[in-house]
Amino acid sequence: MGRRYTVISCDCHAGATYPEGGFLDYVGPAHRELLREEMIRVSERQRVLMERLFAREFMARQDGTEAATKGGRSGAWDPARRIKELEADGIVAEVIFPDGSQDNAPPFMASAGPGAVGADHALQSVGAAAYNRWLADFVGGTPGRHAGVALITIHDVQESVGQIRWAKEHGLRGVLLPAGVGDLPFYHHPRYEPIWQACEELELPLHTHVGSATPDYGDLPGSTTLFATESMWFSHRPFWFLVWGAVFERHPRLKMVFAEQGADWVPELLKLLDSMYRNMFRHEQQRLSLPPSEYWRRQCAVEAMFLTRREVDLRHEIGVENLLWGSDYPHYEGSWPNSARCIRDALDGVPEAEARAILGGNAARIYGFDLAELDPIAARIGPEVAAI
């Protein structure tokens, strides 16, 4: 049998099942009834939203949708089913984000950011703690296969630091930064310094994920399409705040990953920022020792979902070491359960060493996955090198 790729999906989702159990067991008695009520409301709202966001005809066209919907999404909260489905899709390990697009989102809008309409900051903190505890348990059985990304809230930065330290102590491997700040100052403000400091010190990569903390478009015709039009840009946005805010300069070991938000935007953006640094805004050279593209190379990575052929063709401009692959499991709109075909479409003809980096090597380096443990599993279930 031929050699195989070790594939790590850097964009998967998980969350406890509703309406019973799940997160209810992870909040204290004081919040349990409130959460039960919220779960019923959210469940209905999510159903309506999803129907709008993904037109039926699109859903029906997706290969494998039927297989996926036949209980498939229960992999979001069932670890045994999850690992089986990941392996069947050729994936040996994964990075886990909250599940915002099903009815099992973190409690109390904890992943919706400080600007979310109707969010209560204190309850968001309760929800983040519940999600993080649940996630630590969820990945705790097979830590070598899952890197869980912790939720933080940012309205109280000392609390954020506590959340980050808790995450590290309980085996979580990254931190999800709300992409939007609501009425709080943007990320170039010194108030966030303790967050950057803690993530650098504890070697927990920061993340933004598409769809988190975009503005509220109201319940109007076109609103969901507007959300989809803008959500990627709002997820990229913290990058240039951390660049011009000198965060990457002050914290050279801080890492940041931009998840499920395309990758073709990176080359033009880096050209623009470098040109600003070298020409019209050269006074920034007094604060920043490197041009923006070098902070990107040194400290950032992007996971596109779907990774397209066009993005792979741009890999040297994005950085072969800065590009990650993800399946979006268990979401319908991702590559699951057809990841091998999607990988072939995107990476056909790419030199093996580069494909290895993009499909798993970069993820292993950033998240601390042990390839000595994963390669033998991949030798059994990974996509064959000769077939890509």
Binding site for a copy of itself (CB under 8 A): 52, 54-55, 57-58, 185-186, 188-190, 215, 217-218, 220-226, 228-230, 233, 237, 240-241, 244-246, 272-273, 276, 279-284, 287
> What is the number of residues in the chain?
388
| Alpha-carbon span 240 to 245, nearest angstrom | 8
Indicate the residue among 2 and 218 with the shorter CB distance to a copy of itself. 218
- Rounded Cα gap, residues 304 and 231, in angstroms: 13
CB of 52 to a copy of itself, least distance (A): 8
- In angstroms, give the least distance from the CB of 329 to a copy of itself: 19
Shortest CB 49 distance to a copy of itself, Å: 13
Nearer Cβ to a copy of itself, position 2 or 221? 221
The answer, yes or no, to whether the previous bond of 98 is cis (omega within 30 of 0) is no
What is the CB neighbour count within 10 angstroms for residue 157? Answer: 18
User: Virtual CA dihedral for 117, 302, 194, 155, nearest 10 degrees?
Assistant: 0
Looking at the Cβ atoms of 310 and 316, the one nearer to a copy of itself is: 310
Tell the smallest beta-carbon distance from residue 222 to a copy of itself (Å).
4
In whole angstroms, the minimum distance from the beta carbon of 177 to a copy of itself comes to 17
Q: Measured between alpha carbons, how far is residue 157 from residues 65, 200, 211, 330 in Å?
A: 42, 15, 22, 32
The least distance separating a copy of itself from the CB of residue 256, rounded to whole angstroms, comes to 17
CA 307 to centroid of chain Cα atoms = 14
Write down the least CB distance from residue 58 to a copy of itself, Å.
5
Strand order in the sheet with 323-324: 8-14, 93-98, 146-151, 174-176, 206-209, 256-259, 300-303, 323-324
Residue number with CB closer to a copy of itself (253 or 282): 282
CB of 100 to a copy of itself, least distance (A): 17
Check: CB of residue 259 under 8 Å from CB of residue 276.
Answer: no
Residue 158 or 279: which CB sits closer to a copy of itself?
Answer: 279
Amino acid letter, 117: V
CA–CA distance, 287 with 199 (Å, rounded to integer): 22
Smaller CB separation from a copy of itself, 192 or 329: 192
Minimum distance, C-beta of residue 387 to a copy of itself, in the bound complex (Å): 28
Residue 37: other Cβ atoms inside 10 A: 10
The neighbouring-strand residues paired with 176 are: 151, 207
Cis peptide before 19 (omega within 30 of 0): yes
Q: Which is nearer to a copy of itself, 281 or 380 (CB)?
A: 281
Task: CB nearer to a copy of itself: give 97 or 277.
Answer: 277
Residue 209 has φ and ψ, to the nearest 5°, of: -130, 140
Q: Beta strand pairing status for 323-324 and 300-303?
A: parallel
Task: Enumerate the β-bridge partners of residue 13.
Answer: 97
Rounded to whole angstroms, the Cα distance separating 236 from 253 reads 20
If the CB atoms of residues 106 and 238 are measured against a copy of itself, the closer one turns out to be 238
